Amino acid sequence: MEKGLIIIPTYNEKENIVSLLEAVFEELPGVEVLIVDDNSPDGTASLVENLQPKHQGQLHLVVRAKKDGLGTAYIEGFKWALQREYHFVFEMDADFSHHPKELPQLIAQLDHHDMVIGSRYVKGVSVVNWPISRILLSYFASLYVRFMTKMPIKDPTAGFVGYKTSALALLNLDQIRFVGYAFQIEMKYKLWKKDLSWIEQPIIFVNRSQGKSKMQGNIIWEALFGVLYLRFKRHS
C-alpha cells in the first residue's frame, strides 16, 4: 500500500476513539492516522497519546486550542499531509458510522481515481439506525445539491471520502469556505469542476451508538445556503 493517511477529527469521543483506532490498524496495518482533536474536555487526546507508543510512527496527534469546526480540522489535516508527501488521505468520522472494514475497498479505488466517496445513496439508501426524519432530510438535501449544482454525485454530503494528495494540491485550501455539511459539498464540487476522476462506492452507514452527535441546526442551514454560493461564485 502506498503511503496513506487517515484523518479523524475528534471532539469528546472517548467512548469510541481507542476501539476505532485499533480497528483501523487491524484492517490496514501499514496506514498512518492523524487525529485532529479540538481540545476535547473529556480527555480524548490523552487516550490517543496513551496509544502512540504502541503505534509509534503511525499514530499522530494535533490538538487545537478550541472547537473550530469539522471543515477547518480537515483542512489542517490536508495541509499536514501535503507537507509530508503522503500519496492519499482519507476522511473518517470517529464514531464508527464509517466502519474501518470499508476502508480497504475504498482505498483500492484511489489506484484508478482522484477521489472516492463512500456513498449512502448510490444503491438506494444504505443507512442503519437513523430516524426516518433524518434519512429524509439527508436524502432530499442530496437531491437539492444535485439539482442546484448539476453535480452528478449522489451523496454530496458524504464524509467518508478519500483523495489523492495530487488532487488536493490543485485546490487553494485557504479558500475553502465552509465547515459543516457544506464543507463536504464544497470539496466535491471544486474537484468535480476540475474534471478529476471520481467514483462513488456503496457503504453501509451506521448511526453512532456511543457518544453524542455533533449535528446542529446551523450546519444544515450552512449547507442549504452554501450550495447557492457554490453554484453562482467562481472558485479555485
- Domain 4-232: CATH class, spelled out: alpha beta
pLDDT tens string for the chain (236 positions)? 689 999 999 999 999 999 999 999 999 999 999 999 999 999 999 999 999 999 999 999 999 999 988 999 999 999 999 999 999 999 999 999 999 999 999 999 999 999 999 999 888 767 776 667 777 777 788 888 888 899 999 999 899 999 999 999 999 999 998 887 789 999 999 999 999 999 999 998 887 555 555 454 455 666 667 777 776 775 54
Kindly provide the residue ranges of all beta strands, DSSP E only, lying in the chain, ordered along the sequence: 4-10, 32-37, 59-63, 88-91, 115-119, 127-128, 161-164, 198-202, 205-206
What are the residue boundaries of the structural domains of the chain, listed by start? 4-232
The pTM of this model reads: 0.88
List the one residue out of 83, 122, 123, 109 whose CA is nearest residue 162.
109
Pair 106, 116: CB distance under 8 Å: yes
Cell 445513496 locates to 121
